[in-house]
Structure 1
Amino acid sequence: MRPGPFTRWPRAADAALAAVSLVLSACVTEGTGDSLVLRSPGDVPVYVLLLFVVGSAALYWRRQAPVAVLAVVLAAWALTLGSGDSDLGWQALVAVYGVGRYGSAERWGHVGVDAALVVVVLHGLTGDLPWGEVGFGVVVFFSVWYVGRRLRLRAERAVLAERERQEQAQRIVTEERARIARELHDVVAHRVSMMTVQAGAAKTVAATDPEAAIRAMGAVEAAGRQALDELRHLLGVLRPPSADDGTSPQPGLADLDRLVAQMRAAGHDVDLTTEGALGDLPARVELSAYRIVQESLTNVVKHAGPGARASVRVAHDGRWLSVDVTDDGSGVTVLPGAGHGVVGMRERASLLGGSLDVGSGDGGGFRVRARLPV
């Protein structure tokens, strides 16, 4: 759902709310038999009209100081009791909702609601209203405050959950980088250091002792082979299990046709569009672009729902490689960035100096857009 005016333009909406409340209080009053009748503002006593202005204008600050606004409105309402023009109940109802929706101090919020209920009862007593109407008013005021409070707690939980998701995504990236760096250093750095020392020794004795230089270079070769074996083993541990035996070359943009064909064979409708020259790009850029497309199509299978149609567009303009994957499925099921897949795609793009945006598509569904410098 699109946000309403009170969310999109809060200050303007609150100003309009205050103005409408003042007009209603000054021009509408209770008639006989619970009816509403129009009146001229000139028929309202001046001091009551001033109280209407104060109580209505206070609603403009109902988000910033909800408890203070409720206190002002209740005071103005209480001063009109028994005058025959006690028409600030609407403002009090809005202020009570503001305390529940925007108040941060629970204790003062409860005090404000209790005070509002007291004024509601006094309004009924001074106006000779039946106890049934007074009780109904108490229930309405309490219910409005409770609904506002529940909405505030839900919004606070949503903000906290989003913060936790962002922190989790950051922890994933940090922990993986630290782990890989630590293990690469422990496993490979020792061998590379040995190779450097042996190569330096071979260079030193190459002119005077060729046999020693040959032996040193043999040690360099042996250390290099051991380092390569250990590096392969380390990457094999870090890489998730797959059917790939590790001997095939890394995929690139030329393999997108095969990837799309596999998706179509699995029953998914996928369109592929390419623009520009894609045959002379750095391998790391091609690999990252391929992985982003692969992960995006995997998300289509997981989250878009049956019968969803996906579109893949890859364009190269000479400086940037743009990857755009959209679908017309059921849309975002989790907040962007909450899963390891989105975190991994964003990490690939950022390591190349690019960017990645995810979110709802223009016509529904889900969208992934990446820009990678070439």
Structure 2
Amino acid sequence: MMNRTVQPAETLVRSMPARFRGPFVRWPRAADAVLATAAFLSAAFLRDTPGDTVAVRPVTDVPLPVLLLYAVAGAALYLRRRRPIAVLYVVLAVWAPTLGSGYSTLGGTAVIALYGAGRHTGEKRWSPLGAVAAAAAVTVDGLLRSVPWGEAAFGCLVMSGAWYAGRRLWLRAERGVRVRREQASEAQRIVAEERTHIARELHDVVAHRVSMMTVQAGAARMVAAEDPRSALEAMTAVEEAGRQALDELRHLLGVLRPKAERDGLGPQPGLTDLPRLVAQVRDAGLHVSVTDGLQAPLPARVELSVYRIVQEALTNVLKHSGPSTHTEVRLRHDECGRGVTVEVLDDGRGTAARPAPNTARAGAGGHGIVGMRERALLLGGSLDAGPRPGGGFRLAARLPVQGESV
């Protein structure tokens, strides 16, 4: 009969949050070796006794052939991640000769093998068939040993339940992989669309004027020595085309900017404008603190990216978490001095109602994080964003100070 004292040992799986990683995730091979050893020792030294209790028996009471069967079943469990179906059927095969005897103590090992078959493979025929075979083995063992039907039915339920639990975890992990793949594909599509749109607009609006300027400048160079008047007229045309191209470019950039940024054609913002930005979001209700560890001056393009990333991150905090959220902005140089790190953290405890904790900002409702990541990548940097283990959200951008943008 199945030994009910041996429970499935793999209860921590890879789909659990990173902040709660058990030994079966951190050290899978070592944990599987310990599990296989424990299964062998349990089958060899523990036995059911009258009164539904468990007793320890000396190893000398176990015949050598049966002990070898226990060893094969325990050793097979070590491969339960790489060969889950083969392990399941090996365990069932070595369990079969002991059914109906006092040595039928491989039920716990079969439970672990069933869980592994459901958890570590998406096979749709031999995996569920193994669960049926295990339930049949429990039934046969119960009949041969005259076990009450209720106990036999409970054993069948445990066998099928172990396989079903593993199967559900497998399906959930597969669904998570599919969702992440779809999110990555959507992010790439958004970036490609934005780049294509900007390139098309720049070409349509500016390329024509710049081509005219090039032609007129070439003509002026050709006739400058012989006909200065014609050269002057050509350069006047170049000047006029340049003004028109500049006006159209300014209009185009005004269209491409978010509406909130269309506040004139002054200089692009930089680190000196961060206090004004922080004051604005404080007026909106955020509790913001800034740790500025940037000492050396930064290139203009890096200052602009730092400002925009902080601006978008604070906007996301206000949008998704709401007023009264405690937010911290950290700016610092890397240890090697070749880049800067922008980190924005919040506690997610504002007054805004969110559909699900720590997930609103990762949804597909906007392109904020995608845009910030694209801005970082264009400088040759990177950006990570995601929920914090204790609640809230964290965004960290790393931007190189030297080198050309991508």
TM-score by length of structure 1 reads: 0.92
Please report how far the alpha carbon of residue 361 of structure 1 lies from its aligned counterpart in structure 2 after TM superposition: 4.8
Partner of 1:315: 332
Partner of 1:3: 21
Partner of 1:301: 318
Partner of 1:201: 219
Find the aligned partners of 2:348 and 2:281 in 1 and give their Cα distance: 15
Please report how far the alpha carbon of residue 183 of structure 1 lies from its aligned counterpart in structure 2 after TM superposition: 2.4
Query: Aligned partner of 1:203: which letter?
Result: R
The count of aligned residue pairs is 373
> Once the two structures are superposed, what CA deviation does each residue of 1:275-308 show, in whole Å capped at 9, x if it has no partner?
3446x43322111100111112122223446643
After superposing the two structures, state which structure 1 stretch, 210-219 or 244-253, moved more: 244-253
Matches within 5 A, 1:189-228: 189-228=207-246
RMSD: 2.2
Classify the secondary structure of the residue corresponding to 2:343. Answer: strand
Q: For residues 82 and 360 of structure 1, do their structure 2 counterparts lie closer, same or farther at Cα, with a shift above 3 Å needed?
A: same
Between structures 1 and 2, the one with greater helix share: 1
Classify the secondary structure of the residue corresponding to 1:18. Answer: helix
Query: Aligned partner of 1:355: which letter?
Result: S
Partner of 1:333: 359
Q: Give 1:252's match in structure 2, choosing from 265, 270, 273.
A: 270
Matches within 5 A, 1:84-163: 84-163=102-181
Please report how far the alpha carbon of residue 218 of structure 1 lies from its aligned counterpart in structure 2 after TM superposition: 1.9
Query: 1:351 and 2:378 equivalent?
Result: yes
Classify the secondary structure of the residue corresponding to 2:258. Answer: coil
User: Matched residues, percent identical?
Assistant: 61
Partner of 1:264: 282
> Once the two structures are superposed, what CA deviation does each residue of 1:216-246 show, in whole Å capped at 9, x if it has no partner?
1121122222222332333233223236343
For structure 2, the 5+ residue unaligned runs are 1-16, 350-356, 402-406
Query: Aligned partner of 2:379: which letter?
Result: L
**Maintained 8 Å contact 1:6/1:14:** yes
Q: For residues 264 and 113 of structure 1, do their structure 2 counterparts lie closer, same or farther at Cα, with a shift above 3 Å needed?
A: same
Query: Aligned partner of 1:271: which letter?
Result: S
Please report how far the alpha carbon of residue 344 of structure 1 lies from its aligned counterpart in structure 2 after TM superposition: 1.4
Find the aligned partners of 2:389 and 2:48 in 1 and give their Cα distance: 49
Classify the secondary structure of the residue corresponding to 1:78. Answer: helix
Partner of 1:169: 187
> Once the two structures are superposed, what CA deviation does each residue of 1:43-92 show, in whole Å capped at 9, x if it has no partner?
11111111111111111111111111110111111111133210000011
Find the aligned partners of 1:79 and 1:306 in 2 and give their Cα distance: 69
Q: Give 1:292's match in structure 2, choosing from 293, 309, 313.
A: 309
Q: For residues 335 and 57 of structure 1, do their structure 2 counterparts lie closer, same or farther at Cα, with a shift above 3 Å needed?
A: farther
Classify the secondary structure of the residue corresponding to 2:348. Answer: coil
After superposing the two structures, state which structure 1 stretch, 362-371 or 344-353, moved more: 362-371
Find the aligned partners of 1:92 and 1:15 in 2 and give their Cα distance: 16
Query: Aligned partner of 1:333: which letter?
Result: T
For structure 1, the 5+ residue unaligned runs are none
TM-score by length of structure 2 reads: 0.85
> Once the two structures are superposed, what CA deviation does each residue of 1:323-367 show, in whole Å capped at 9, x if it has no partner?
222223368426869762222112112211223233455865332
Find the aligned partners of 2:322 and 2:157 in 1 and give their Cα distance: 44
